A and B are shown apart, each in its own frame.
Chain A
């Protein structure tokens, strides 16, 4: 019984000591961290180490001479003479009548009041939110990146839905071009990317040569930037939609509901990829691999999309009009080739008693 009481008392003593020491240790860490933050932010500032800071207000009485630096958490009152600097944290530096500081006076989170005394060196008052930003935890970083990814996905989805509802046929034509001329889209994208900047420069030079055209140069630059942004958005949306169709195994020439579903699934697919990057960012090898994978796939989707957008003249022209031979349409989930995108219209052959199927003029730009 007595042993148990002894053990209990020891445990309580240790707990009490730890509880009392914790705030002091926390304060020490806090002061050090804050001083480090100030040192990092204000280069060239000479601030003594945290251990030099007295934990209570300090004063130098009239007639006394003290060697600096004098540092304290709280107010510092100088009525005598200090040879060196005076640094206060969360307190004021008050130089009374006859008080003298031969060095600098630095008040961090306080003020300097020296109407009656003198300060030979520099006066610095550092105020504001001086608590250093806590270093982000791994979980916090993941959360931040995940939120950023989700946010971007949300924006892309909103834009995509807008484009789909107000210009669905445009997106469909780009998607169709992407589907039928995938390789060519890459080549065109490469040419477009390489030629965009020189083309813009040439256009500006040509305008400058006409002298009066100089006025148009700013508009041309703004228009070019807007066009590039539009092409990139359309390119990504078309690629995401195609990826969504591929994931859902549905036909690209489906109805609007299917298109919305494909777009959402496609964007979420890319989101998942980038969320993986966010989650694995701190993992050395896997993080790099997933990041490369995400950059590669997104870049490829963008490049192919840009090419398809350019090839389809921004979705105003169907791939069939470009003279390319369309590939056989992917099978729908029922195993039936899509009408209009393949040679399905050729059957059945009109024979006696069987009505021939009308050949569709063009399915692009229309929903069947």
Chain B
């Protein structure tokens, strides 16, 4: 072997040695507990990357959890405190935080009962989420998404009014469908550089206040035609697309605002952001 060839071979060997081994130890964990009627359940979900699914459970389970994770890099989080009635589920990574690198094989599926009151706190890093709260009796809801596509839907009116519903989307694309069914008095939305779709269609029983804080993000608002809309912005650098609204003082107000049976008041603050309004069919 000539010298250049030997040198190139050595380089190739070195490069080959640097290739990641790619070995993963996928583990599955399925946990369920029979339903009891001993009171509300406080549930916290913390999940870094992968696929996240939360849905109503039609079977008689207090909770039904399915986890899939890479045991080489992560450990499952599962705690149920029967006295406190609190459930904590998720995946913890070895470095202490949620790894945002690709972890597509990871999955968390959680089903919760439709017969118990629920307080939900969901923190998803780079997880693609499908959160269906239809039929659940939600008393409190906080949803935080890091950097992935997440959809939250509520197809039936919630059994409770939620005093404050919190939505955080760092760099994520968060879509909420039929959010009026959540029956929230106040919705607080924080957006970094992501996009949040607030589809406020659904059952309207009372007025709703929405507080938006957006750095560079975009808020898309879909509101039923019968709902009066008033949008107030504290930053001049926010761009808007508000068809059907006219400027009154420092706010944008719909023509039928005063006579509308239900009102949506939105206040927006932040550096740069965009707010778009669309009217739903009904």
Contacts and interface: CB of A to CB of B under 8 A. Distances in A.
Contact of B27 (A126, A148, A150, A154): A126
Contact of A214 (B13, B79, B271): B271
Contact of A122 (B33, B68, B79): B33
A119 B27 contact: no
A129 B29 contact: no
Given A44-B78, A44-B79, A126 B18 contact: no
Contacts of A256: none
A128 B18 contact: no
Interface string A203-221: 0000000010011000000
Interface residues of A, number: 30
A214 B216 CA distance: 10
B17 interface: yes
B255 interface: no
A133 B25 contact: yes
A37 to B, nearest CB: 9
B79 to A, nearest CB: 7
B71 A147 contact: no
Contact of B30 (A42, A125, A211): A125
B27 A123 contact: no
Interface string A143-186: 00001101111110110000000000000000000000000000
B34 interface: yes
A124 interface: yes
A223 interface: no
Interface in A122-141: 122-130, 133
Contact of A155 (B15, B26, B27): B15
Q: How many of chain B's residues touch chain A, expressed as a range?
A: 20 to 34
A127 B27 contact: yes
A123 B18 contact: no
B272 A155 contact: no
A186 to B, nearest CB: 30
Nearest to B71: A41
B218 to A, nearest CB: 15
A125 B28 contact: yes
Interface string A89-128: 0000000000000000000000000000001111111111
Contacts of B34: 119-121
Contacts of A133: 25, 72
7 contacts: A42-B29, A119-B34, A128-B27, A153-B14, A154-B17, A158-B15, A214-B271
Given A125-B31, A128-B27, 8 more contacts: A41-B71, A42-B29, A122-B31, A128-B28, A129-B25, A133-B25, A147-B17, A154-B18
Interface of A: 41-42, 44, 119-130, 133, 147-148, 150-155, 157-158, 211, 214-215, 264
6 tightest Cβ-Cβ pairs between the two chains A and B: A154-B14, A151-B18, A128-B27, A127-B28, A125-B30, A151-B17
